[in-house]
């Protein structure tokens, strides 16, 4: 008789673990499929998610995203380009500033570029929302790496935008330890959908700041 409750508890724990595993497997599949979806729809703006820059020059990954945005812009898919991304401690330039300069060098008028900031996906979107609202922009084409596309769209949608995907097909990122990126995205999306992406962003920011040395 004493083993009855133990067996029941083990069955419940097994069922819970199985459901959690299924949840994250489905999440991974959704991320994978969205990363291979390319919408042909037009929108009011192209939203480019920031990534690293190198002393005023876009990294290969950022350049790939910006080139994708240029293709969409020149194809008449949207009349505005919104760029995002802040800077890390010690950086002189911001990702958004470097992105805007690159776009202008390639023929996009500065008056058609909206700049945000942010150190993560949630902050990227929230930082550029005031500029988007000022121009009554709701529909956006989200440009980022394939593994990041699902979360970028989910966060954009959660902040009131109507996103369609245009993942970068030739990003240098996909050539290096791609499974790690998909694993991270699966965890971020899986947890973010449960607790809220905004809360996850604040928790991550708090964890990062407390791990920095004093004055860092």
Q: What is the DSSP letter of 213?
A: P
Q: Contact at 8 Å (CB) between 47 and 128?
A: yes
Quote the CA–CA distance of 170 and 184 in Å, as a whole number: 20
User: In the predicted model, is pLDDT for residue 214 greater than 60?
Assistant: no
Which structural domains are found in the chain, ordered by start? 39-205 (3.40.50.620)
pLDDT attached to residue 90:
79
User: In the predicted model, is pLDDT for residue 210 greater than 80?
Assistant: no
pLDDT attached to residue 1:
54
Q: Alpha carbon of 3 to those of 10, 12, 54, 209: distances in Å?
A: 10, 14, 62, 47
Residue 89 binned pLDDT confidence (cut-offs 50, 70, 90): confident
User: In the predicted model, is pLDDT for residue 216 greater than 70?
Assistant: no
Q: What is the DSSP string of 92-159?
A: SS-HHHHHHHHHHHTT--GGGEEE---SSHHHHHHHHHHHHHHTT--EEEEES-HHHHHHHHHHHHHT
pLDDT attached to residue 2:
61
Model confidence pLDDT, tens digit, residues 10-24: 888 888 899 999 999
Quote the CA–CA distance of 63 and 159 in Å, as a whole number: 26
Model confidence pLDDT, tens digit, residues 25-61: 999 999 999 999 999 999 999 999 999 999 999 999 9
Q: Alpha carbon of 170 to those of 2, 9, 124: distances in Å?
A: 60, 49, 22
Residue 82: which of 134, 41, 36, 32 has the closest Cα? 134
pLDDT attached to residue 177:
75
User: In the predicted model, is pLDDT for residue 127 greater than 50?
Assistant: yes
Q: Report which listed range, 12-16, 149-153, 207-211, is most confident.
A: 149-153
pLDDT attached to residue 14:
87
- % residues pLDDT > 70 (the chain): 93
């Amino acid at each position: 008789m004493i083993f009855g409750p133990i067996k029941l508890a083990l069955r419940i724990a097994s069922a819970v673990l199985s459901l959690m595993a299924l949840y994250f497997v489905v999440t991974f599949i959704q991320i994978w499929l969205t990363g291979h979806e390319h919408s042909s729809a037009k929108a009011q703006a192209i939203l480019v998610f920031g990534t690293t820059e190198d002393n005023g020059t876009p990294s290969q990954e950022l350049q790939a995203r910006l080139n994708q945005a240029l293709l969409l812009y020149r194809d008449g898919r949207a009349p505005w380009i919104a760029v995002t991304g802040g800077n890390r401690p010690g950086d002189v330039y911001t990702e958004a500033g470097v992105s805007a300069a690159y776009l202008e060098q390639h023929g996009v008028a500065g008056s058609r570029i909206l700049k945000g900031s942010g150190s993560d996906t949630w902050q990227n979107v929230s930082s550029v929302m005031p500029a988007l609202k000022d121009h009554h922009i709701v529909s956006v084409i989200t440009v980022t790496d394939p593994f990041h596309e699902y979360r970028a769209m989910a966060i954009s949608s959660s902040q009131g935008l109507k996103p369609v995907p245009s993942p970068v097909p030739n990003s240098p990122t996909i050539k290096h330890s791609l499974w790690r990126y998909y694993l991270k995205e699966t965890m971020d999306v899986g947890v973010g959908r449960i607790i809220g992406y905004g809360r996850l962003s604040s928790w991550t920011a708090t964890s990062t700041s407390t791990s920095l040395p004093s004055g860092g």
